[in-house]
C-alpha cells in the first residue's frame, strides 16, 4: 500500500465537567464525547525522499513541525526508523480552533494512516497510548463514537451509541483561547456541575430527551460572559426547534440537537440571515463500528 485516504471526524461534548486543577497544571475533567459526521480528509502517500510534506486548503495553517499531523507522522517515523517520506494532502472542513477537535482528529487519522501505510501492526490501544503524547483529545479521536473521557481526557470508556439526531453546528467569527478559559474558570460551591452520570444513563436507555435535557458545559460560565454571541446563537437554535443547544469544548462553536430535519434547516437559515455565525453546518450523529 502506497496511498491511503482517511476521514478525520469532528467531536462535540454532550457534557463537560472540570473537577479541579492538578499539581502538574492540567485540569481534571469528566466529559461525554460524541463523534459527528463532519470531517476533514487526509490523502497520505509514501514518497522516496525522507521528508514530510503537508499541503492544505487553508493558507494560514502551519505545514511544518508546528502541525499536529506532521508531529504524528514524525513520531512514528522516529520510533520505527522509517526512511521513506510521507506526502499529505489535508482538506480542512472542520472549523479551526473551534472546540471540535479538528486538529486532534487530523493527528489521529495521520497515526492510523501511518500504521496502515507502513504495516506497523499497531493495535488501536497501541496507537492511543502514543497519541496522548501529542494531545489529550487525540486518543478519543482514534476511538471515536460515544465515550466517557476522564483524567486530562486520556482515560476513555466506550459507551453505548448515542441515539440518532440531527446536529447543527455554528461557529461565530471569534477565536477563543483554551488557556484563557481554563485560567479564568472559577470552581466553588456555586459551580453547577453537569450530570455526567445522568447523561450516561440516558444514553444506555436510548433516551434522546434524557440526553438533551442534561446537556451542560461548565466552561460556558467563562466563555459566554466574555463572548455573548455564543448565548445568542444558542438562543436562536432553541427558538427554532432545537431540543437543546450547548457550546462544544472551550468554544466558541455551538451545536444544537434536533429530532426534526425541517426544524434543523429552519434554524440553519435563521442563523445565516442573522450573520452571527461565520461557519454553519447541518450534519448528524456518527457512530462508527469500533475495531
CA–CA separation, 184 and 114 (whole Å):
38
The number of beta carbons lying within 10 Å of the beta carbon of residue 187 is 15
Q: CB–CB of 287/160 below 8 Å? A: no
Burial of 66 (0-12, 13-18, 19+ CB in 10 A): exposed
Using only C-alpha atoms, what is the Rg of the chain? 19
Catalytic residues: 11, 137
CA–CA separation, 213 and 169 (whole Å):
18
Q: CB–CB of 11/36 below 8 Å? A: yes
For 50, the grid coordinates are: 525522507
CA–CA separation, 166 and 257 (whole Å):
6
CA–CA separation, 289 and 259 (whole Å):
23
Taking each helix axis from N to C terminus, what angle separates 68-80 and 124-131, rounded to the nearest 10 degrees? 120
Amino acid at each position: 500500500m502506497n496511498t491511503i485516504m482517511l476521514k478525520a471526524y469532528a467531536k462535540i461534548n454532550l457534557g463537560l465537567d472540570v473537577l479541579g486543577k492538578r499539581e502538574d497544571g492540567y485540569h481534571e475533567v469528566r466529559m461525554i464525547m460524541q463523534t459527528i459526521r463532519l470531517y476533514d480528509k487526509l490523502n497520505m502517500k509514501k514518497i522516496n525522499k525522507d521528508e514530510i510534506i503537508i499541503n492544505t486548503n487553508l493558507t494560514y495553517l502551519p505545514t511544518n513541525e508546528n502541525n499536529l499531523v506532521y508531529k504524528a507522522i514524525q513520531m512514528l517515523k522516529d520510533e520505527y526508523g522509517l526512511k521513506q517520506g510521507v506526502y499529505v494532502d489535508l482538506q480542512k472542513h472542520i472549523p479551526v480552533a473551534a472546540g471540535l477537535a479538528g486538529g486532534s482528529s487530523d493527528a489521529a487519522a495521520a497515526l492510523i494512516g501511518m500504521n496502515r501505510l507502513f504495516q506497523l501492526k499497531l493495535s488501536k490501544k497501541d496507537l492511543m497510548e502514543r497519541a496522548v503524547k501529542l494531545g489529550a483529545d487525540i486518543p478519543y479521536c482514534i476511538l471515536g463514537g460515544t465515550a466517557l473521557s476522564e483524567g486530562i481526557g486520556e482515560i476513555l470508556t466506550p459507551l453505548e451509541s448515542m441515539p440518532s439526531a440531527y446536529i447543527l453546528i455554528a461557529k461565530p467569527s471569534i477565536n477563543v483561547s483554551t488557556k484563557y478559559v481554563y485560567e479564568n474558570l472559577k470552581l466553588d460551591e456555586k459551580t453547577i456541575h453537569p450530570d455526567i452520570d445522568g447523561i450516561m444513563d440516558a444514553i444506555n436507555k436510548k433516551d434522546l430527551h434524557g440526553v438533551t435535557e442534561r446537556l451542560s458545559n461548565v466552561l460556558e460560565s467563562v466563555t459566554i460572559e466574555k463572548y455573548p454571541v455564543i448565548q445568542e446563537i444558542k438562543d436562536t437554535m432553541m427558538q427554532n426547534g432545537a431540543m437543546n443547544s450547548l457550546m462544544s469544548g472551550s468554544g466558541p462553536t455551538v451545536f444544537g440537537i434536533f429530532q426534526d430535519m425541517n426544524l434543523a434547516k429552519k434554524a440553519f437559515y435563521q442563523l445565516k440571515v442573522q450573520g452571527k455565525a461565520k461557519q454553519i453546518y447541518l450534519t448528524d450523529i456518527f457512530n462508527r463500528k469500533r475495531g
